[in-house]
Amino acid sequence: MNYQYILIPFLLSLILTLVLTIVFRFVGKKGYLGNLYVNNVRGGTPRALGIIPFIILSFYFPSGFNNLILIIGIFAFIDDLIGRRKIGNSNIEWGQLSRGIGMLAVMVVGFPIVGFSSILIALMVQPINISDMQPGSTSIVVIIMSVFTILAMIMLDIGSIISIPGYYAFYAPLLLLIVCIGYSPLDFAGKIMLGEVGNHSFAVALGICFYMLGGFIWTLVLFIATTILIALIRKNNLKKFFARKLNIKNPTFGDYFMDVLTGGGLGDALRRLILGKKQYNIKNPFFIMLGFRRLFYNPFAHKTLDSYNKYYSPSDLERK
């Protein structure tokens, strides 16, 4: 494997993220960036800096697979640009619609390449998007799962990708790892935000790496493992969020898991579609343990819509 395909993406991710941060901060303070600069978070924070990892992964990921990242990244960036604008008088946002179309496109375009795994790869967007609620949380998830995938590939002696001779399977998760590491210092410091374009691109790239490890089964297993990891990372903040916003007392780990799996605007839109304005009270101890209180919590059944904007400041919303 030619190491320039690792070193160059790392340097590009590190340097371009820094340069774009300076540009976004300068232009954003003048009010020219719209939704790409968030004034009420940490004194003003550039958003959608994940466009750098998105572009690098789109260019350097193995051919064919990179198209899936390109697709989701484009639709996610539209989400970043539009923001939280409602579609007419409905409770559905244009950004949610764009994200949903992007996920469906990944499923359709990816099916001839990875089969039914394309569904799981697209659905990776949900838990990774939920992880992106505080500085560095998505980066740490991507780093941990990429390292695990690399080690698993080496231990299982996974060879080159059959359809792409010369590419060792661990090249993809290694590329994802170093691009994330290059991007992440400013994210950990709370100076920048990935935006939807960043976390969606990382999500699909990570899902592809899971597929390369061992097809559908490994994709499913690591999809669940990633969701559990995010629930563990978010546990303390979610406990406060449940108590203050959803009135879920003494949450179980199942509640945390279900929030990561089904929370956020997209999950609430599905609840509106399926449940309407009904609210089911879960009392069975077994279902409570599984997290059904969170799964069936319907914000549209309450006077106050507890849908959240993840870019609010910590004082405004405990999810942050």
Phi, psi of 160 (to 5 degrees): -70, 155
Q: Do 93 and 265 touch, CB atoms closer than 8 A?
A: yes
DSSP β-bridge partners for residue 38: 45
Residue 300 lies in a domain: no
> Are the beta carbons of 46 and 189 closer than 8 angstroms?
no
Most confident of 89-98, 163-172, 189-198, 271-280: 189-198
**Is 265 inside a domain boundary?**
no
Long-range Cβ pairs for the range 155-161 (8 Å, 24+): 156/213, 156/214, 158/212, 158/213, 158/214, 161/62, 161/212
Is residue 79's pLDDT more than 70?
A: yes
Region 33-40: what's the mean pLDDT? Answer: 84
The answer to the question of residue 158 being in a domain is yes
Please check whether residue 241 lies inside any domain of the structure: no
Q: What share of the chain is helix, strand, coil (3-state, %, to 5)?
A: 70, 0, 30
pLDDT digits (tens, 9 = 90+) for 208-221: 999 999 899 999 99
Integer Cα distance of 318 and 45 in angstroms: 18
Rg (C-alpha) for the chain, rounded Å, is 19
Residue 231 counted as domain residue: no
Report the alpha-carbon distance of residue 107 to residue 68 in Å, rounded.
9
Range of the domain at 83: 4-216
Residue 266 lies in a domain: no
- Reported as a pLDDT band with limits 50, 70 and 90, residue 265 is confident
> Among 47, 25, 44, 26, which residue's Cα sits nearest to residue 35?
47
- Alpha-carbon distance of 27 to 245, in angstroms, equals 35
Q: What is the mean pLDDT of the chain?
A: 87
**How many structural domains does the chain have?**
1
Looking only at the bridges linking them, the beta strands covering 37-38 and 45-46 are antiparallel
Asked whether the predicted pLDDT for residue 287 surpasses 70, the reply is yes
Quickly state the pLDDT bin for 261 (edges 50, 70, 90).
very high
pLDDT band at 5, cuts 50/70/90? Answer: confident
Asked whether residue 63 is domain-assigned, the answer is yes
Q: Give the pLDDT score at 167.
A: 65
Residue 264 located in a structural domain: no
